Amino acid sequence: MIDINLIRTNPELVKENIKKKFQNNKLELVDKVLELDNKNRALKKEGDDLRASRNKLSGQIGLLMKEKKIDEANEIKKQVVKNNERIVEIEKEEDELTKQIKTIMMTIPNIIDSTVPIGKDDSENVEIEKFGEPVVPNFEIPYHADILEKLGGLDKESAGRTSGNGFYYLMGDPARLVSAMISYARDYMINQGFTYCIPPFMIRADVVNGVMSFAEMDAMMYKIEGEDLFLIGTSEHSMIGKFKDQIIKESDLPITMTSYSPCFRKEVGAHGIEERGIYRVHQFEKQEMIVICKPEESMDWYNKMWAYTVDIFRNLNIPVRTLECCSGDLADLKVKSCDVEAWSPRQQKYFEVGSCSTLGDAQARRLGIRAKGEKGNYYLHTLNNTVLASTRALIAFLENNLNADGSVNIPKALQPYMGGKTKIEVKQK
């Protein structure tokens, strides 16, 4: 949510930003906010004037009563009653207008960074840099579900019976491999100075509304029936929510945290949710990172954060590239975002395995996250980045570390987490 002062002082900038995001249907919302805000400010002035008048009249009543001018005092009392009645009306109108303004403001997109490329959708995202040489081996790379089957590691049929489409059982060494990758990613982030955290896996509606747009919530979140609780789609939501309505000491900044959690997603409108693989599923595990910092430090942290993910994947022998998200592909709260994509030797193209975003002070405004500075309180900037998401990382790992005989090599980084194993062998039937 942007600062309403920006709409008051520079509505054309806000409109131009909306155009850059190809959301022209929202242009009228800027004028609507200005109209409602002007009404609200006029009401506030009227209310303040009436309160001042009431205080003045109340003082006059006391003097008139002392002078035994009862009739005059009673007439003034009638005016005070009228003032009070109008003040009550004004307060109700102000409350309603404030709610209307906030509802609209929650749908107006955040101001994107000047470096964001302009484009309508993800087809116009821009490659930034490649890390590692994308290799296509001289043998056929099977579909990842087939690789897992030969390793005795995947059972979607049983998951279909217990849970339905979009769920899976991981077993044996592949299941251990997922835990190894998550543990390695956790320890890597701890070594970068991040505080490890296991957060709540359910959050209340006010936190959900604070960290994401309504459209994102409807497409992603599972609601707990009969409760004001949602299953998290990613742990940065509960991590950022941890600081809701807090005033943080500047000496405690930046806050850098890495978290483990399962993630639950409806994947509304997703294609291929019933496929036999695990590329797009309703449940997976993730290591995440968040940073809460001063506004002037956020871009430096943004560049550090995506670089951590790149380094982790390279240590797993997976070539990756970074992709700058264009304006039309940015969620409304985001200022700037880049995807980390892993090389798929089977498809001979890259696919998304993580995303790094800076949201400016949008989430902080929604959640009331501020710092106490020398010149008063101010809103902080929030950032998040995928360290490693289990299912997609597993797919990338299997394809890039597969041998011709179906076995899978274990890089040195993961060997301590795999009991010293250097290879996962095909399971003999």
> What are the C-alpha distances in Å from 399 to residues 80, 177, 282?
79, 14, 22
Structure-token match 């509802």, residue found: 103
For residue range 356-377, what is the model confidence (pLDDT) as tens digits? 999 999 999 999 999 998 889 9
**What pLDDT is recorded for position 65?**
79
**pTM of the predicted protein model:** 0.90
At 424 the pLDDT is: 96
- Whole-angstrom Cα distance, residue 61 to residue 277? 81
d(CA 261, CA 224): 18
pLDDT, one tens digit per residue, over 128-183 is 999 999 999 999 999 999 999 999 999 999 999 999 988 999 999 999 999 999 99
| Residues 252, 344 contacting (CB under 8 angstroms) | no
> DSSP of 119-155, one letter per residue?
-SSGGG-EEEEEES-----SS----HHHHHHHTT-EE
Domain ranges of the chain: 4-105, 122-424
Judge: domain 122-424, CATH 3.30.930.10.
yes
Higher pLDDT, 267 or 423: 423
Report the alpha-carbon distance of residue 257 to residue 300 in Å, rounded: 16
Peptide bond into 254 cis (omega under 30): yes
**220-277: pLDDT as tens digits:** 899 999 999 999 999 999 999 999 999 999 999 999 999 999 999 987 555 555 567 9
Q: What mean pLDDT comes out for the span 51-74? A: 83
Question: Given its phi and psi angles, is residue 368 left (phi above 0), alpha (psi -120 to 50 degrees) or beta?
Answer: left
Please give the C-alpha separations between residue 348 and each of 135, 137, 156, 319, in angstroms, as whole numbers. 9, 10, 26, 12
Cα(209)–Cα(201) distance, rounded to whole angstroms?
A: 16
Q: What angle do CA 127, 354, 158 make, to 5 degrees?
A: 130
Q: Which residue has the tokens 């102000």?
A: 94
CATH class of 4-105: mainly alpha
Distance CA 149, CA 185 (A): 25
Half-sphere exposure of 222 (CA within 13 A, CB side): 14
Instruction: Tell me what the mean pLDDT of segment 37-57 comes to.
Output: 92
Question: 4 CB contacts (<8 Å, ≥6 apart)?
Answer: 33, 37, 101, 105
Measured between alpha carbons, how far is 364 from 244 in angstroms, rounded to an integer? 8
